[in-house]
Amino acid sequence: MFKPRLLLPLLALVVALLPAAAPPAAAGPIVQRCFPETGHCISGAIRFYWENNGGLAVFGYPITAERYEMVEGTWSGPVQWFERDRLENHSNEGLGVLAGRLGARFLDLRGTPWQYGPGAPAGPGCLSFAETGYQICGAFRSYWQGNGGLERFGYPLGDPVTETIEGAAYTVQYFERRRMELHPEYVGTPYEVLLGLLGNQVYQRELGVACPPAPAVLQATANYHRFMIGCPSPGLRTNVPTSWQPFERGMMLWVQNADSSGTIYLMHYDNGSFWRAFPDTYTEGESVNEGLVPPPGLYVPQRGFGKLWRDNEWVRNALGYPTLPEVADVGLAQPFDDGHAQMIYREGRNMVLIMFRVEQSGLARAIEMPPMP
């Protein structure tokens, strides 16, 4: 059961009891502070909050001017977007400036809304939150406690997971308002935990900021699924060797990687379509499934597909037998959302496989369809 708005009343009460982050009454008007890096300025209550609650390291540069917006359909007022945050001026309600719920909103826009966790007792060195059922531990706990806690970050919305950010894999944890990222290259420094660029990511998805173009054959499909997959990322590969084989309950797709190794993407039909990725460990000339006789009208998988099918019981049970022989093809591989999602286009079959990111449940949804006109 999803209840992404359940925490707002309690959080509003907590924030109301904290000192309001607004300029002192005796202070005169706060003049603009402008940033040539983005061409935007901050002033007034939002500038005061930005400068007194972490500045550039916490919020990043402003990416819009201050303006009125409707937020999540429930509140309208002056807001300003930053690289890492959206600051909302709730002074008319006596709450001062608040940070937006960008962690929760990003999960919604990505199609992976948070779910209540197991609610286990806190482990050693951890804090447990009955409000969401999750814990924060280690470096994430230290950063949460030392940099604003509940007011700044909100409650945790999931366990730590591994995500690809700008081409590298990092351990991250989502909170109502933020995403924390663990950077081992900075261990022992104040930068071991950094805050994700959720302001950029949510703003791009939610407010129609222009994305970099996708390949022409994928552009309409990318536009249609934008809220689920985000914007195209660098790393487009063309003339990519692929091969494909349908099974009773799914399919396998082999895609050559940039380093000439291969990845096998498995698409499983089970109350929807889901995908998983496996490394191709097949060596040319290797004996696979020799002598195996399939049921009438079906086939025995060979080569890399056959080795994975033979060695992985879950794969065999999930897919069943192939319904057609393996077919070679060539196409495009376009990453989205910093590699969290991907489109594979096969020219000969004229089909696009859209692979969404892994959900908190461990599932990863997929769609196969012709490219949209």
Task: For the chain, 373 residues long, give each residue's pLDDT as a single digit of tens.
Answer: 333 333 433 333 333 333 434 444 334 456 899 998 888 999 999 999 999 998 998 999 999 889 888 787 678 789 999 999 999 999 988 999 999 999 999 998 887 889 999 888 888 999 999 999 999 999 999 999 999 899 889 999 999 999 888 778 899 999 999 999 999 999 989 899 999 999 988 888 776 667 889 999 999 998 877 767 878 999 999 999 999 999 999 999 999 999 999 999 999 987 668 899 999 999 998 999 988 999 999 999 999 999 999 999 999 999 999 999 999 999 999 998 878 889 999 999 999 999 987 665 566 788 889 998 8
Domain boundary among 165, 187, 209: 209
Specify whether the CB–CB gap between 296 and 200 falls below 8 A: no
Helix H or strand E segment including 203: helix 198-206
State how many domains the chain has.
Answer: 2
User: Are residues 200 and 273 located together in one domain of the fold?
Assistant: no
User: Are residues 155 and 36 located together in one domain of the fold?
Assistant: yes
User: Are residues 288 and 232 located together in one domain of the fold?
Assistant: yes
What single DSSP character describes residue 45? Answer: H
Domain boundary among 163, 192, 209: 209
pTM above 0.85, yes or no: no
Domain that includes residue 286, residue range: 216-369
**Residue 190 in tokens:** 């104040």
Specify whether the CB–CB gap between 198 and 187 falls below 8 A: no
User: Are residues 204 and 227 located together in one domain of the fold?
Assistant: no
User: Are residues 177 and 244 located together in one domain of the fold?
Assistant: no
User: Are residues 204 and 268 located together in one domain of the fold?
Assistant: no
Identify which of 25, 39, 28, 63 has the alpha carbon closest to the alpha carbon of residue 50: 63
User: Are residues 196 and 223 located together in one domain of the fold?
Assistant: no
Domain boundary among 193, 209, 225: 209
User: Are residues 140 and 245 located together in one domain of the fold?
Assistant: no
User: Are residues 198 and 277 located together in one domain of the fold?
Assistant: no
What's the rounded Cα separation, in Å, for the pair 193 and 170? 11
User: Are residues 199 and 239 located together in one domain of the fold?
Assistant: no
User: Are residues 42 and 115 located together in one domain of the fold?
Assistant: yes
Q: What are the angstrom distances between the C-alpha of 275 and each of 223, 232, 315, 318?
A: 22, 20, 11, 11
